[in-house]
Structure 1
Amino acid sequence: MANPKGSSFLSQIVFILTFSYLGNGFSVDPVEQQRLDKVLKLPGQSFNASFDHYAGYVPVNEEFGRALFYWLIEADEDPDSKPLVLWLNGGPGCSSIAYGEAEEIGPFHIRPDGKTLYLNPYSWNQVANILFLDSPVGVGFSYSNTSSDLLSNGDKRTAADSLAFLLKWLERFPQFKGRDFYITGESYGGHYVPQLSQAIVRYNLATGDKTINLKGYMVGNALTDDFHDHLGVFQFMWAAGLISDQTYKLLNLLCDFQSFIHSSSSCEKMLDIAGEEMGNIDPYSIFTPSCTANVSQSNRLLKKVHAVGHVNEKYDPCTEKHSVVYFNRPEVRKALHVIPAAAPAKWDTCSDLVSSNWKDSPRSVLDIYHELIHHGLPSSIVMTLVLFVLPYKSGDTDAIIPVTSTRYSIDALKLPTITPWHAWYDEGQVGGWTQDYAGLTFVSVRGAGHEVPLHRPKLALTLIKSFLSGSSMPTLKEQVGISDS
């Protein structure tokens, strides 16, 4: 589907014709298109779903023929009363369908045969309507009629296209206009989430439009600030005994003020050495088994902050491969209303073409945090351990964007502390640690890797419940019913 960049009229014609190939039909009436986008049943689904879900395309640029693929999964009970949560995976170049839906927070998870599904008991659609977006074009089933678009993606256009998507998507789903809206994501989503939040806030201020009623945002194990990300990664690897003293010193020397996106050849060489010293472990979750199908993954993964995932009903380090099998099946594509003429010949979880041709990536998004906090928009950061600001969550066994990196970045914001560092609990056990700042909450999830909902799904569900309710993470006293009075 490649058109010359200058042939805008031809691109528009092809764009319209492409939509006519939709197996579910195409309507110029956006609300009628909502009906056509409804997914009836998925191949391999042996259970009845108590909720409706929809999938399809939304055009974001008709001149070049860019369209983004979405999958909306309504709340399983009383969806009209529940908020709308957008989920964004990172990469850059990784699919939110592949990771967010199929192995993290979505209800439809894939078994190892790549053909059958099971219902995720900890799906976030228990508490919200979940919207998964493959962004930018070239990721998942999202596409452009202008081939050069796939070679010119970057942070700025991704945010602009995602805003255009939301405005047009809400015309198709008017029942969500003005609904409480939250943005969540992980990894390179540490750029996507605050940048899109900023674009929405600025759009609302400029137009007075409240169609997108943004209430907050949350990011997990997020790429945030080049200097602090690198500083924290190297310190974590050294403290965890993954690398030698000498390698630790040289990493700090040669990779100073750089990131996995902006790095030098000397830094790259030290990352290779670090990968060799770490051995064949999964750096996204250092204490769980790695996928033996890829013995060189430590070297590869250290260089790119892809949101690679791994767990099924029982821990399966090769879960990503199951998604590749499932979403390449023609009957699956048909059920999800994928346009045959626009679909990639081979669907993959992440696009190397997109990531290797990324055009703009700021070295820090801390300035955006300051701007959003100034406008009163809360954030939560979650890290593995768990980092949960009302933009931050974090897993504590992630060596890619570890809890140390996030804590350095939060310290750099110099925000006043509201509630000091303390443990939070789930069923009487420590689920992680948390601290509330003015405008931000940091949460770590105990024992989680890079993808918190994958490794600790029950704790992640507790996390999103607290986030959406605007409450602090549960304490031991709350768990056992002891009053503070």
Structure 2
Amino acid sequence: MSMVFQTKGLLLFLCALIFSFSCILASSVPKEQELDRISALPGQPPVTFAQFSGYVTVNEEHGRALFYWFTEATTSPQNKPLVLWLNGGPGCSSVAYGASEEIGPFRINKTGSSLFLNKYAWNKEANILFLESPAGVGFSYTNTSSDLTTSGDKRTAQDALIFLLRWMARFPQYKYREFYIAGESYAGHYVPQLAKKIHDYNKQNPHILNLKGFIVGNAVTDDYYDGVGTVTYWWSHSMISDHSYNSILKYCNFTERKTTKKCDDAVGYAINHEMGNIDQYSIYTPACPTPHDNSTARHVRPKSSILHRISGYDPCTENYAEKYYNRYDVQKAMHANVTNIPYKWTACSDVLNKHWKDSEVSILPIYKELIAAGLRIWVFSGDTDSVVPVTATRFSLNHLNLAIKARWYPWYSGVQVGGWTEVYNGLTFATVRGAGHEVPLFQPKRAYILFRSFLAGKELPKS
């Protein structure tokens, strides 16, 4: 009998010990982190990875709070790096684009009623953090209405740094984790600018943001070289006439914020009378028709600069996102729209884009500084995008005057050429064949190979 009682006592002791250990583990997870956990999204297929979403306040005085959606890696998240993804615009949502039609784990069906899995989701390789930035984009908000008309590069970078530091306090398991930043289009400003902010911060503080590098696609980089490169792409791809090409180069000064009437007329004629109803973000694919006719759903509008337009491919997938994320049950599941913002969630904000206050003329000086700092930097370009085209990126990068480490060669996805690449001392450039402005949307497998090679720090496959 005494043996039985001893066994029972031992079992009770072990149970109590396990319970106590569980409590310690539970208490070590910040409460805010658990409150942000997504149990499941409406219409979501079963998954094994954890998801979190919610708000991080970045400015108490103005009431600015940024919305994030975090998807842990599908396997061994504790051993995988952390990657922040940013979309551009300025004013476009990383939830609408990056998460929902490019690198995220899910795709949205046509009716906006359910989700299906993305075969080439990037969270197979890393923990992915999507951020709607700056305030006024998507679910991110501000209680100070003037913030919407005074946003710019500097505040966006500063708010993003504050977001990351406060997010790390909520998710301490990712402190000191290998960290990368990725993005596309106008995030060609956001990503290097944030990388510089982190690099400068780390000079004076503990490196809880263990930044190792960044990767950007079809990236706005330098006003002058991007401008000349864009018009050259239009002409070299037979989108505009010789006359328009020569007129634009003659009358447009690509470094000026305000353009002349002759420049506006030359660009406007080329776009409105010569290009036709094509999707300029993907010049060889069909465009999404409007309900009224077969023309494109959104035309590129010439603004104060030829390049600074709302970014985001629109062959209808963006419409599915707007259906899905405006659903009350979806917002509730994501802990979104908690302040009942007085407008619908949209993929892009025209207000932010129209009133953008400060925009660096060139990001090339930041590249030079961060290359010297030893960060891993990759720049890629879908070669069927005419908005921030491959020629623009090549013209910009050529003026870094970097020494060539591995000469231009074709890289492969299976037996097909995935694109072309050249490796420099401190930077890798790659094209993605047959991809438009949003590379992972058009060529998901090739984009996945590119990302996997970047994380591994290996050259793209030669066969």
Alignment TM-score, normalising by the size of structure 1? 0.86
Q: Does structure 1 residue 111 correspond to structure 2 residue 115? A: no
Q: How does 1:180-219 map to 2 (within 5 A)?
A: 180-207=178-205, 209-219=206-216
Aligned to 1:444: 431
Picking from 415, 418, 423, the partner of 2:405 is: 418
Judge conservation of contact 2:108–2:320 (CA < 8 Å) in 1.
Answer: yes
Query: 1-side partners of 2:331 and 2:97: how far apart?
Result: 17
Aligned to 1:308: 312
Residue identity opposite 1:134 in structure 2: E
Judge conservation of contact 1:278–1:298 (CA < 8 Å) in 2.
Answer: no
Judge conservation of contact 2:279–2:296 (CA < 8 Å) in 1.
Answer: no
Judge conservation of contact 1:178–1:211 (CA < 8 Å) in 2.
Answer: yes
Q: How does 1:345-424 map to 2 (within 5 A)?
A: 345-383=343-381, 395-424=382-411
Q: Does structure 1 residue 269 correspond to structure 2 residue 273? A: no
Q: Does structure 1 residue 229 correspond to structure 2 residue 233? A: no
Residue identity opposite 1:360 in structure 2: D
Cα distance, 1:108 vs structure 2: 1.5
Q: How does 1:234-313 map to 2 (within 5 A)?
A: 234-258=231-255, 263-276=259-272, 277-293=274-290, 295=296, 297-300=298-301, 304-310=308-314
Picking from 76, 79, 83, the partner of 1:78 is: 76
The alignment partner of 1:399 has SS state of coil
Cα distance change, pair 125–344 in 1 and its aligned pair in 2 (3 A): farther
Query: 1-side partners of 2:232 and 2:82: how far apart?
Result: 37
Cα distance change, pair 265–211 in 1 and its aligned pair in 2 (3 A): farther
Residue identity opposite 1:247 in structure 2: S
Residue identity opposite 2:179 in structure 1: F
Cα distance, 1:206 vs structure 2: 2.1
Cα distance, 1:291 vs structure 2: 1.4
Cα distance, 1:344 vs structure 2: 4.4
The alignment partner of 1:217 has SS state of strand
Residue identity opposite 2:77 in structure 1: P
Question: 1:67-100 CA distances to partner (integer Å, 9 max, x unpaired)?
Answer: 1000000001111110000000000000000000
Cα distance, 1:270 vs structure 2: 2.4
The alignment partner of 1:250 has SS state of helix
Judge conservation of contact 1:307–1:451 (CA < 8 Å) in 2.
Answer: no
Residue identity opposite 2:285 in structure 1: T
Residue identity opposite 2:455 in structure 1: L
Question: 1:128-186 CA distances to partner (integer Å, 9 max, x unpaired)?
Answer: 00000000000000011111111110000000000000000000000000000000000
Query: 2-side partners of 1:134 and 1:296: how far apart?
Result: 23
Bigger mean CA offset, 422-431 vs 249-258: 249-258
Judge conservation of contact 2:301–2:309 (CA < 8 Å) in 1.
Answer: no
Any unmatched runs of 5+ in structure 1? 1-28, 311-316, 384-394, 477-485
Residue identity opposite 2:36 in structure 1: D
Q: How does 1:457-468 map to 2 (within 5 A)?
A: 457-468=444-455
Cα distance, 1:299 vs structure 2: 3.9
Judge conservation of contact 2:383–2:436 (CA < 8 Å) in 1.
Answer: yes
Any unmatched runs of 5+ in structure 2? 1-27
Percent identity between matched residues is 52
Query: 1-side partners of 2:258 and 2:328: how far apart?
Result: 38
Judge conservation of contact 2:227–2:307 (CA < 8 Å) in 1.
Answer: no
Query: 1-side partners of 2:122 and 2:185: how far apart?
Result: 19
The alignment partner of 1:333 has SS state of helix
Judge conservation of contact 2:439–2:447 (CA < 8 Å) in 1.
Answer: yes
Aligned to 2:42: 43
Question: 1:332-377 CA distances to partner (integer Å, 9 max, x unpaired)?
Answer: 1101001332434211000011111111001101000001111111
Alignment TM-score, normalising by the size of structure 2? 0.90
Aligned to 1:16: none
Aligned to 1:164: 162
Structure showing greater Rg = 2
Question: 1:392-426 CA distances to partner (integer Å, 9 max, x unpaired)?
Answer: xxx00000111111111111000111001000011
Cα distance change, pair 258–299 in 1 and its aligned pair in 2 (3 A): same
Aligned to 2:4: none
Cα distance, 1:309 vs structure 2: 2.3
Query: 2-side partners of 1:433 and 1:72: how far apart?
Result: 32
Residue identity opposite 2:405 in structure 1: I
Cα distance change, pair 437–263 in 1 and its aligned pair in 2 (3 A): farther
Judge conservation of contact 1:398–1:448 (CA < 8 Å) in 2.
Answer: yes
Query: 2-side partners of 1:56 and 1:171: how far apart?
Result: 14
Cα distance, 1:252 vs structure 2: 1.0
Judge conservation of contact 1:230–1:255 (CA < 8 Å) in 2.
Answer: no
Query: 1-side partners of 2:355 and 2:102: how far apart?
Result: 27
The alignment partner of 1:191 has SS state of helix
Aligned to 2:18: none
Cα distance, 1:253 vs structure 2: 1.5
Bigger mean CA offset, 402-411 vs 341-350: 341-350
Judge conservation of contact 1:182–1:214 (CA < 8 Å) in 2.
Answer: yes
